[in-house]
Amino acid sequence: MPVALYTAASTSERTSFNMVNRATGNRLRRELIDPTTDQPVAKEDQVKGYELDKDQFVLIEEEDFAGALPEADKKLAIGQFVDCKEVDPAFLDKPYYVTPSGPGAEASYAVLREAMRNRGVAAIAHAVLFRRYRAVLLRASGPGIIAHTMNFDYQVRSSAAAFNDLPEIEIKGEMLDLAKHIIGSKRGTFDIEGFTDRYEEKVAELVRAKIEGREIHVPKPAQPTNVVNLLDALRASAGALAKQDKAAKREPRKAAPTRKAG
């Protein structure tokens, strides 16, 4: 199925900076320097090298890569369909919006989208993206299809290194009941607009203040807090939520307007 991909997430809106010479105000440029001659190396003399041993390289010319580059045909070759719940999020990489491209592609696109939606499955496809052969996960999303490039198995580290040393602890009783109560009280619907990039907001405000010549106020670092017992913290949180609920129920209703005697 011939398709077009559009980047779904981008960092281009973030505040960006250049490195500048403090003394002259000039923007700096980067050069590749030979550490032995201490001289910059011209573009035509730069070549990729695979390190065999310390400071020993086998040189790989650009034409040597020709046999490794897959042929780009702007198509997604679907290999199989899997239950959406089976896909480990650790294997998902960059998101893209997928649209049909080429004559007759709209019908195939619509059929695939609705079939995946009805069966609750995702498609595993392969495509050539940016000169690389990539595995791609396709899912129905609203009126379209969204794709995630996928990490290969060798790229994702085993979770064993992180989780194998965790002790097996049986959680039950009051602690579990309190945790479930708090989750139930705070449960809501996912709304990404409710989340803000606080760092980006502060950096953007910093830049505006510099441009306008305003004084920059640096907040004092927060004092470290005492270690709190988890069960005590859960009790306190549950108590605060209960007080909020009671306060909301006690709010007096507005009295109905009285009619004046005629």
* pLDDT tens digits for range 22-70: 999 999 999 999 999 999 999 999 999 999 999 899 999 988 887 787 7
CATH of the domain at 133: 2.40.290.10
At residue 262 the predicted structure's pLDDT band, cuts being 50, 70 and 90, is very low
| Structural domain includes residue 102 | yes
Helix (H) or strand (E) holding 135: strand 132-141
pLDDT average, residue stretch 220-246? 69
pLDDT of residue 83: 95
- Whether 228 maps to a domain, the answer reads no
Question: Kind and range of the H or E element at 246?
Answer: helix 230-250
Residue 117 placed within a domain = yes
Q: How many domains does the chain have?
A: 1
Report yes or no: 159 and 219 within 8 Å, Cβ to Cβ: no
88 part of a folded domain:
yes
Give residue 227's pLDDT: 56
CA angle 72, 77, 80 (to 5 degrees): 155
Of residues 196 and 117, which shows the higher confidence score? 117
Determine the structural domain holding residue 147 and report its residue range: 3-9+70-155
Closest CA to 109 of 71, 151, 140, 69: 140
Query: Does 36 fall in a domain?
Result: no
- Please indicate, yes or no, if residue 30 is contained in any of the structural domains: no
Q: What is the pLDDT of residues 199-208, one digit of tens each?
A: 899 999 999 9
The reply to whether 125 falls in a domain is yes
| In-domain check, residue 53 | no
